[in-house]
Amino acid sequence: MSEVSFDGRVAIVTGAGAGLGRSHALGLAARGAKVMVNDLGAATDGSGSGSDAARAVVEEIRAGGGKAIANGANVADATQVQAMVDEAIAEFGHVDILVNNAGILRDKTFAKMSLGDFRMVMDVHLMGSVYTAHALWRHMCEREYGRIVFTTSASGLYGNFGQSNYGAAKSAMLGLMNVLSIEGAKYNVRANMLAPTAATRMTEGLIPDELLALLQPETITPGLLALVSEEAPTKMILGAGAGCFTETKVYETQGITLQDADLSPETVLARMAEIRAPENQQVMGNAFDQTNKYVRNAAAARGVT
Ligand code: NAD
């Protein structure tokens, strides 16, 4: 197995002043990447700014002999993100790797959730990832090299009480990642998702003390480094935590095909077990794979070839 090296590569890691982002930035730098360490210095709920978090991580990287610069852009502000990307290119010449990691929480049940809190979380997680990827997209395609990771969450993939805003933002990233991995394929731009679970300030009080040691961000970073390496996969959702690595996939079941008098809600309900049966379930390559399957099945049910 060849060693993973980021010599000559330039990475932007958002929200890298603390937690997972800090660990990713240190991991990239330790293997040779020049890193722009972005962090707004916000509290977990997204309020405030201006801490020295990003600068402290840059100092750590430099102390270890690496190259890094700090950046305080708010990823939810498209103008600041463009300036951040311009600065990285001016300083390092190009950008090869984008790690969308910045994040906040504004948890409430949907009944109590204000639209402002919903929008704020969407703005940081989803639009923040859109702005960074958009600002770098042409640059990466023209250079025929790009590795982009979106940080999702089990809340987005599976749901979690009190996190409608966060869950919506984190699963919306899946749609973005799917399309970017398809559009980027011919330019060697690969997009993946990381679904971490870690002991950080974001999960403070939620994880029992005895488990904190197992869930350090450093147990996740090797997975992130694999997703942005030369040999990275594309369109993958990598689960990571406590040294465990898994893949989450979206499957479609084989299902049933109805016609004529059977084409009714009653039959759909009556045959729900067959519709949901996991045997022969498939991963679709793209949206038209599903359309083609339905048309093929309908034609076969009618005896048309
Ligand atoms: P963290 O709070 O330690 O780090 C998040 C960082 O993002 C902070 O340093 C913060 O200042 C920065 N940030 C917040 N808003 C910003 C903005 N608008 N612009 C730039 N920087 C901003 O949290 P963490 O646990 O390290 O989370 C990192 C990512 O991982 C987040 O996207 C989070 O949703 C995701 N995640 C974490 C867990 C977990 O178990 N910790 C689980 C699933 C997903």
Taking the centre of ligand 1 as the mean of its atom positions, its distance from the CA of residue 277, in whole angstroms, is: 37
Cβ(194) – ligand 1 distance below 6 Å: no
The sign of the torsion formed by the CA atoms of 184, 185, 187, 191 equals positive
Taking the centre of ligand 1 as the mean of its atom positions, its distance from the CA of residue 14, in whole angstroms, is: 9
Site to probe by mutation for ligand 1, drawn from 39, 44, 218 as the one with most ligand atoms within 8 Å of Cβ, is: 39
Tens digit of each residue's pLDDT (9 = 90 or more) over 129-167:
999 999 999 999 999 999 999 999 999 999 999 999 999
Site to probe by mutation for ligand 1, drawn from 104, 131, 218 as the one with most ligand atoms within 8 Å of Cβ, is: 104
Cβ(46) – ligand 1 distance below 6 Å: yes
Task: Give yes or no for residue 81 having a pLDDT over 70.
Answer: yes
pLDDT class of 99 with cuts at 50, 70, 90: very high
Taking the centre of ligand 1 as the mean of its atom positions, its distance from the CA of residue 146, in whole angstroms, is: 22
Predicted model pTM: 0.97
Where does residue 68 fall: left (phi above 0), alpha (psi -120 to 50 degrees), or beta otherwise? beta
116-125 long-range contacts, CB within 8 A, separation 24+: 117/165, 118/164, 118/165, 118/168, 120/46, 120/76, 120/165, 121/46, 121/165, 121/166, 121/169, 122/165, 122/168, 122/169, 122/172, 123/76, 124/46, 124/75, 124/76, 124/169, 125/166, 125/169, 125/170, 125/173
Residue 100, H or E segment: strand 97-100
% of residues, the chain, pLDDT over 70: 100
Tens digit of each residue's pLDDT (9 = 90 or more) over 52-75:
899 999 999 999 999 999 999 999
Q: What is the mean pLDDT of the chain?
A: 96
Task: Give yes or no for residue 271 having a pLDDT over 70.
Answer: yes
Tens digit of each residue's pLDDT (9 = 90 or more) over 172-206:
999 999 999 999 999 999 999 999 999 999 888 88
Cβ within 8 Å of residue 73, ≥6 positions away = 38, 40, 80, 81, 83, 84
